[in-house]
Amino acid sequence: MSGANQATGLSNDELVRLYISHLIARNRSERTIKSFRSILERFIGFLGSKSVMEVSVYDIDLFLAHLRQRGWKPDSLYTAAVAIKRFLEFIGKKDVLKDFELPRREKKLPRYLEPEEVKKMLEVAEDSKEKLIVLLLYTTGLRVAELVNIKKSDIDLEKNTIRVKGKGSKERYVYFPPGVTRLLAQELSRNSSEWLFPSSKNPNHHIHYTTVERILRNLGKKAGLGKRVTPHVLRHTFATISLASGLDIREIQELLGHSNLNTTQVYAHVSRERLKRDYEKVWGAFSGL
């Protein structure tokens, strides 16, 4: 769709369905599609009988204020604003957005685990599949959507590489250490599915990303970590440890599949925080000679 004229005559619901189809056709992640659909359906409900072709920046602000009153956090409000902004751009209503500002996001350093905490998770894992999920996220920095979409044909055990299709269908290669090879080979021979991690209900499909999230959440609890463990926390852990161990920031950018170096630069801040903490462990009690 290239403009407002093409949207004329379509209902709000039809426009949302058309936009969701656009996201699916552009290979957006399952999580993004699910999140944007939910937000836009809420927005349409909030508008009532008003057509989205008639919305103003005030309607968007009122909706975001409504979400905030219902307890939505800053990061969630930002996502909602982005979803609405991109939807309106898609239907040709860029003019509405000229005075619109995205809400501020909280500036938080990424959470990560210490190697000892990852080890504890591996010790309480129920089977080799759970161990492999943890190890791949920890040693490659993969996004959860990239992990579940790995096909057996993407893996090269001799070169220790995995071909990954990231955001925007951008292809890259990530590496895994020799210590992961045995578990990978074991999982490759376990089933006849094309997927590394097939669904238990239907081997023709891969496992759902929420299954991975549940596995990590449960392992974190069983390991007594006292913190919420997610796929993204392990991705942050990979980047933080890689930077602290000497990998160049641009190398980490490539491994993570970041299109913008600024996105990767946050790990430099994390590394400095970790350096300060480790320094204080050694020198914090020093009171002079």
Active-site residue set:
143, 167, 232, 235, 258, 267
Distant-in-sequence, close-in-space partners of 189: CB < 8 Å, separation ≥ 6: none
**Helix 231-244 crosses helix 128-140 at what angle (to 10 degrees)?**
50
Map tokens 């000497």 to a residue.
Answer: 246
Q: How far apart are CA 200 and CA 222, in angstroms?
A: 23
Tokens at 261, concatenated? 């170096």
**DSSP letters of 198-241?**
B-SS-TTSBPPHHHHHHHHHHHHHHTT--S---HHHHHHHHHHH
The amino acid at 155: I
Q: How far apart are CA 58 and CA 40, in angstroms?
A: 16
9 — phi, psi (to 5°)?
95, -15
Sign of CA dihedral 3, 8, 11, 12: positive
- Asked if 237 and 117 touch (Cβ cutoff 8 Å), the reply is no
179 — phi, psi (to 5°)?
-65, -15
